[in-house]
Structure 1
């Protein structure tokens, strides 16, 4: 649960640190860490795209939607993690290879 909730406050640093420290101890932590890192990197890319689009004003709407979407998926991921389930974030680009797809 630390990875998604920490990502709300400190971005990709929380999933990265927890994943690097605990990935060898648990397959679930390894998988959830990969999913969380994929999402935080994807979110940063989407944010940069929205920032570029602020020049035509639509970027501000996209940024607002991204913030709301990010909070929702991080809360869902935290709930799934508390149930010991690895949840694949919607719209996450697969940078780290995750089994099951």
Structure 2
């Protein structure tokens, strides 16, 4: 059976949780690669301030790489961002990008 494609804008407003059930934030916008016709990131606002304390200002959002997304439904599940943020590594996918 083929799934009916959804509008990209239907992602806006959905809550994002880690695969361990921790609230991360709410999708405010999406980052697109127009040449590849693909979503490359999710811009999150209304962040879990405990999760991002000391990393992101309260009025700032983050962009989570779309490759972290594990499932999209009523909510969006991503790989466990807490483990990625707490590793302190310099790997490109180890930290969410600050949104300008």
Which TM-score tier does this pair reach, normalised by the shorter chain? Answer: under 0.3
The higher-RCO structure (CA 8 Å, 6+ apart) is: 1
- TM-score for the superposition, normalised by structure 2: 0.28
- TM-score for the superposition, normalised by structure 1: 0.27
